[in-house]
Amino acid sequence: MLARLLRWWRQLTAMRTALVLLFLLAVAAIPGSLLPQRSLSQNSVNRYFQDNPTLAEWLDRFYLFDVFSSPWFAAIYLLLFISLIGCVVPRAIEHGRTLFTPPPTAPRHLHRLPEHAELPTTLPGTGALDVVEEELRVRRFRVVRREGRSGPEVSAEKGYLRETGNVLFHLSLLALLLGLAGGKMWGYEGSILVTEGQGFCNSFQQYDTYSSGPLVDSSGLSPLCVDLDDFQAQYEDDLTASSYTADISYQLDGGDPVGTTIGVNDPLRIDGERVYVTGHGYSPEFSLTLPDGTSFTDLSAPFLPADQGTLASQGVLKVPDLGAGSTDQLAIEGFFAPTGVTQGAGILTSVDPRPLDPQVAIVVYTGYLGLDSGLPQSVYSLDQTQIDRGLLTEQASGNLAVGESLTLPDGTVVTFSGYQEFAALQLSHDPGQLWVLAASIAVLLGLVGMLLVRRERVFARVGPAPDGGGTVLSIGSLTRGSADTGPRFTALTDDVRAALAARAPAPPGAAPTAHEEAPPS
């Protein structure tokens, strides 16, 4: 049993296994980029279920709408994490020992190395090795001289940063996984639609949708409140959005409001929180006048865009407090067109996302909305079961431009009084963000070291010349990570040969050179 566990552990901690798991993790993330995810947009998932009910049900069984929180994705992630620890940590310890270990002794047969040369010289053995050592130190080799089995020798090595880069790369990858895991465990994000003049505070109860890690305490969220003062959208000539900017004011822990402007790629960053602009739309405004003269003004609700190209939007305004009875309630279900055009039999559509001619097509219901029934319902649509059961009754419908009204049978007047823009804001808290950034930079540095640095060893040994006159210097080189080592070794041997010739003693009777002093006559 123990032998089987050890065999399994060796297979799991092999670098080949880590690469396979890394590939599987990348493949497993593909559905998360192709299919809508609940953590990002519950509405998109709901639309997918409406468009593909049978397929969506099967996909949901395999957690394909919650890929990054699914058990099978977590299993791959955990196995990759264990595999990297098992293969990188021992390798890092071994490399740490290697940094303080001198270069190995020279092999017995230097001529069997990929690059080798034999240089005859008249210098003695120690002098020839002095020349080699000097040339190697100039090239920033770590040099050791020792008495080997076959005589005096020199061992030199450089390029330790290659293995350091390798270890740094894998340790940084491990740190990157830790940072991502930490962000998921202690991070959270919430999305909310905020109409101009309104705001929200950092609380899960206020968000339209939110997701949080298992270790997040809702009572410990940062006390940040944000108000949307104004929103501007700029469009290209082809009506595609070029920029979204929102003028906001925020308060942290009850302090004084601070104004700033944020955009899609320019979020608010404060106290570990980030507030992004992720989209926008329109909130039509209505006013009601009851038969007894009671008026309700500035009633609005965000309408969700059904067409991103023209921002034609659908939504509902629920008014539960018109009278004393629970059945004395009203709902305005409508279609908002920023630039409205009527086609065919009074069908309203939009041709431009800019509010050049805002119009609405509305259907007014009265009765019981069911808001206090205890059953959840969307704030962006009516509960169809209330209509089917006859608890909500259609009273009137029509197309309205700004300022136009629709009168119900009981004398209630519904007026389309205008519109405001809303911004889709997302607040995110990721404590592992800086950790992930630092780990990503370290991964790149380690990769650069792996690709650009060569691990190179050079050995030299001296021996007597075959004819007994002088010394033969044997040099061999072994380089890892590069197939083209000939020019580097040739340059080394050329420099050694020139230095040997310069230091060689002049033969007897030779004329002195210009810098030598002639003996007295």
Q: Could you report the per-residue pLDDT of 289-339, keeping only the tens digit for each?
A: 988 888 889 899 999 998 888 999 999 999 987 765 556 889 999 999 999
The encoded tokens of residue 284 equal: 């039509």
* pLDDT for residue 519 is more than 60: no
- Report pLDDT for 508: 58
* pLDDT for residue 516 is more than 60: no
Establish if 119 belongs to a structural domain: yes
What CATH number does residue 495 fall under?
A: 3.30.310.80
Q: Name the domain count of the chain.
A: 3
Q: What does the pLDDT average to over 168-174? A: 87
Establish if 93 belongs to a structural domain: no
Establish if 154 belongs to a structural domain: yes
Whether 285 and 409 map to the same domain: the answer is yes
Q: What does the pLDDT average to over 124-133? A: 89
What domain range includes position 12?
2-83
Establish if 47 belongs to a structural domain: yes
Q: Which residues contact 129 (CB under 8 A, 6 or more apart)?
A: 145, 152, 153, 154, 460, 462, 473
Whether 217 and 276 map to the same domain: the answer is yes
509 Rama sector, left if φ>0, alpha if ψ -120 to 50, beta otherwise: left
Whether 343 and 471 map to the same domain: the answer is no
The encoded tokens of residue 295 equal: 């008026």
* pLDDT for residue 441 is more than 90: yes
Whether 333 and 198 map to the same domain: the answer is yes
Give 298-357 as a 3 state SS string: EEECCEEEEECCCCEEEEEEEECCCCCCCCCEEEEEEEEECEEEEECCCEEEECCCCCCE
Give the Cα-Cα-Cα angle 109, 110, 112 (nearest 5 degrees): 75
Whether 406 and 318 map to the same domain: the answer is yes
pLDDT in tens, 69-93: 888 988 998 888 888 888 888 888 8
- Report pLDDT for 468: 67
Q: What does the pLDDT average to over 243-271? A: 89
Comparing 62 with 1, the larger pLDDT belongs to 62
pLDDT band, residue 507 (cuts 50/70/90):
low
- Report pLDDT for 274: 92
Establish if 183 belongs to a structural domain: no
Whether 388 and 271 map to the same domain: the answer is yes
Comparing 373 with 299, the larger pLDDT belongs to 299
Percent of the residues in the chain that have a pLDDT greater than 70, as a whole number? 94
Q: Comparing 113-117, 187-191, 281-285, 513-517, which segment has the lowest mean pLDDT?
A: 513-517
Whether 337 and 483 map to the same domain: the answer is no
Whether 203 and 304 map to the same domain: the answer is yes
- Report pLDDT for 517: 46
User: Is-above-0.75 flag for pTM?
Assistant: no
Establish if 492 belongs to a structural domain: yes
CB 243 within 8 A of CB 256: no
Establish if 227 belongs to a structural domain: yes
* Cα-trace Rg, the chain: 39
Whether 337 and 474 map to the same domain: the answer is no
Whether 228 and 261 map to the same domain: the answer is yes
Whether 274 and 389 map to the same domain: the answer is yes
* pLDDT for residue 33 is more than 70: yes
Establish if 100 belongs to a structural domain: no
Whether 125 and 221 map to the same domain: the answer is no
